[in-house]
Amino acid sequence: MARMQQKKLDQGWVACRATEVELTGEELSTPANFPIKGSSEGWIEAVVPGTVLTTLLKNEKIPDPFYGLNNEEVPDIADVGPDYYTFWFCNQFDLPTLVENGKAWLLFRAINYQAEVFVNGHKEVLSKGMFLRHRLDITNWLNKDGSNYLAVKVHPPDHPGHIPPEGGQGGDHDIAKDVAAQYVQGWDWICAIRDRNTGIWDEVSVSNTGSVRISDPHLVATFDEAYTNATLFSSMELISTKPLPTNVTVMVNVSIDMEEDGICLIEHLATQEIVLNADATILYPFPPLHFVKPKLWWPNGMGDQPLYKVEITVTVDGEGESDTWSRLFGFRHITSYIDSSTNGRKFEVNGEPLFIRGGNWIVSDGLLRLSEDRYNTDVGFHADMNLNMIRVWGGALAERPEFYNACDKRGILVWQEFWITGDCNGRGVEPSDPQWPLDHDLFLKCAWDTVKLLRNHASLALWVGGNEQQPADDINDALTLGLALHSRNDNPSLCLDGTRAYIKGSLWEGFAAGNGLFRDGPYGIQVPERFFQENYYPYAFNPEIGNVGVPVAATIRATMPPEAWDPPQILDGEIPNPTWFYHKFIPYSDEQNLVPGQIESYGVPEGLDDFCEKAQLVNYVQYRALIEGWNSWMWTHYTGMLIWKTQNPWPGLRGQMYDHLLDQTGAFFGIRCAAEPIHVQLNLLTYSIEAINTRKDHLLGFSVKATMYDIEGAIVYTNTIEHLTLPAYMTVSVGKVPLFESPNTQPVYFVLLKLLNSSGALVSRNFYWVHPTPGSYALLSGAFREQKVHIKTSTRVQLTGRLSYSISIYVENPSKERGDQQKDAGVGDVRDGVAFGLQFSVRNVNSKAQDNRILPVTYSHNWFSLVPGEALTVEVLFVLPDTKAHPKLLLRGWNVSEISIAL
């Protein structure tokens, strides 16, 4: 019986610049000439999957292009020519013995941009295109002794372009002539990637099958109106390489793991016998499978994400098992349409409306150092922020299956764009051409292959032709037709896709103005109160709205040299040093739009640490107000919004909820608070208390407790609003806080809102510091900051794995007399008041590095405040980098002395 196996080739690669290699590919891929790292001149250890730059960086042939101004020292392909980044990549591999009539395959999941492949002296030239899978039949090329030699010559994009002195959106736009990622020529949030991401940037593997192979199965679920019964349609290409007709058995097995007991329950197991003609390829529709009350997959915040395992096996008479395929599949139905009351696109999942609060995504790393762990962290952070959608921007990638796997598991819907941008494709500074790329057939070839790669993911919600532009008419027409359900609706799995909408561009058909006009943005600092104005954004769904994003000081020090540690000068606005400017710093003030300095509102910053700490307070306020402003007008004016951006592909200084090193900013927790499915908030414009319910349950018996504190921490107002009803999918005003009602009102108040359910349990907590527009928080400096509030902590540590920690920290701001506090703290200058701006970090006490943070870390709360007498339990999860690391927790605060907690 054939044993189907697939082996990743992610180790053992060597590389060399092609101009330094005199041998041909036929020669390199033979035992006598195969290069070996160290013993073959010029050959170095290679990173595959990876790019030329990641290989050069690993071997210290270039400085880290993401550190400081190092990118300026890395040769740009426009200056040195394409040969400089044309590289050979070589490896050896073994393959299990093939059965009679069996086949061996070499698979590349993506290469940028074109490659010549040699296996044991045999050559194959691959198609151009960054987003295309390649499968080579290498059966007749294998060596009988089992040792096989692989050489791949990788060429950069045909049109890597030049970078104008002023930079520009997509450089000189030449990269758009190819079917490739456009961000590599630089944007206003990233500098140019010098090799344009040339390399074997995605997975390489070898596999074996019998004489019949399965290709690109398609799974589609349909439902009755009540979503209590489902039908699973499936189809697949069956490819026979046998010279005679073949009897084939196709088996589809659908099961789900029950988490509570670990038992795998078989939901369906069905087989069909068919006959394949000699050397035939057919699209085979498997008979539909019927499910009663399947567990439904829901977006984050609406429910759980159960995933069924679907296995397809093909057995050939006389051979046994010939090929297998398996994926996790979620039963769900996604639709979207233009809402008649708002003229915005409205999404529904399983018949329930979904208010979109999400983020724009570039790539997890600008050098394409992609990994499953990184994807899980990135997507997990979005889910932890209570977001429900990620838009994969058109100037970047067709994201990888591991990214989609993470989104499936965490309930993050994905808006996937094809590789078109307004800047490069006809709407930017010339040259910019709507007919690019030059090869339309190649674009569609990559598009169809991408659809087949990704279409079975529950999280994939929307195809979009491009960013702020639609593809050329013939491409757009083909996508519109190819991604429509059209005539085969009796078996939707026979369509290319047909289960999700295709929209021609991000500014059309219910997004922004809906007609292609540039009506996304703005992209800078705002007066927080403005987000609550009804006409702040005049359309229902904003696909891009951006803001600031300076990280914590430790990240600045880790990504820039000491001479760049000076924060921006506060003159007429904020003037960054050259390194901050190079890393795309965006100011925290905007005189043109009448936004006074939001950092200076807390007092003129004194050094890097002070600037970055104040930046986190501003980050928190800005992004919380952004989400809460949209909450306030949910369905009555807005249907959704996507933040520009929620992550950064390099150490940039704008638009990020967490930095490139994976440390979270204050913005992360402002969004996490505001995007709760059930939430209480203060309307900063009217001081109304608003309760938001984005779920389908009609909630009864809720209450809101509102408490105001003065700068000293004394209660000046408190009120409990009881017997509240929170209708499903609605924002309701439940009361008002009497703020700033007379000229003599204190300039700064703290406001604590708590939403309690009918049992008295806390459902939502929200803490504000408020001042009349435009906001001045100078009172939070000086004595307020210098007189420390004493905090108590107790910690419970649990090891969930050899290097995995789960920590619960009980943090209390005890309400005591000053003398008792001084006695407990052992210090002379403490007070009873609000503990403001508390932030945890995890450190490695055994590390001697300047940056000894352990990252990433998941926190249930951070950048939070506690009123007198209040306590919170903070959950902290992290994994040590190695067995030598030893963690400790640091707790810092605006007006709290540092606390070190040994673990």
Catalytic (active-site) positions: 468, 544
Q: Which of 4, 6, 16, 5 is nearest to 40 (CA)?
A: 16
Q: Which of 188, 182, 163, 503 is nearest to 363 (CA)?
A: 182
Cβ-based neighbours of 8, under 8 Å, separated by 6 or more: 203, 204, 205
Structure tokens at 568: 């921006």
Total Cβ atoms within 10 A of residue 270: 14
Q: Which of 737, 748, 743, 688 is nearest to 714 (CA)?
A: 748
Q: Is the previous residue joined to 810 through a cis bond, with omega within 30 degrees of 0?
A: no
Which residue in this structure is represented by tokens 């088996």?
A: 251
Total Cβ atoms within 10 A of residue 146: 11
Amino acid, res. 206: V
Structure tokens at 683: 């309307």
Distance CA 547, CA 645 (A): 8
CB 190 within 8 A of CB 652: yes
Cα-Cα-Cα-Cα torsion 155, 159, 160, 163, nearest 10 degrees, comes to: 160
How does DSSP classify residue 664?
B
CB 552 within 8 A of CB 561: no
Total Cβ atoms within 10 A of residue 229: 14
Is 206 buried (19+), middle (13-18) or exposed (0-12) by CB count in 10 A?
A: buried
CB 156 within 8 A of CB 185: no
Which residue in this structure is represented by tokens 């000081």?
A: 553
Distance CA 700, CA 704 (A): 12
**Beta bridge mates, 331:** 296
Distance CA 23, CA 160 (A): 27
Amino acid, res. 613: E
| Strand bridging mode 14-17 / 5-8 | unpaired
Total Cβ atoms within 10 A of residue 850: 9
Distance CA 376, CA 373 (A): 5
Q: Which of 398, 56, 37 is nearest to 202 (CA)?
A: 398
| SS3 readout for 829-894 | CEECCCEEEEEEEEEECCCCCCCCECCCEEECCCCEEECCCEEEEEEEEEECCCCCCCEEEEEEEC
How does DSSP classify residue 435?
T
Q: Which of 535, 547, 545 is nearest to 685 (CA)?
A: 535
Structure tokens at 434: 């709507």
| Plot region of 869 (φ>0 → left; ψ -120 to 50 → alpha; else → beta) | left
For residue 133, give Cα distances in angstroms to 108, 204, 349, 539, 880: 6, 10, 31, 39, 36
Q: Cα 256 to chain center, whole Å?
A: 27
How does DSSP classify residue 639?
S
Radius of gyration of the chain (CA): 29
First CA to last CA distance, the chain: 53
Cβ-based neighbours of 714, under 8 Å, separated by 6 or more: none
Cβ-based neighbours of 876, under 8 Å, separated by 6 or more: 805, 806, 807, 808, 809, 840, 842, 857, 858, 859, 860, 889
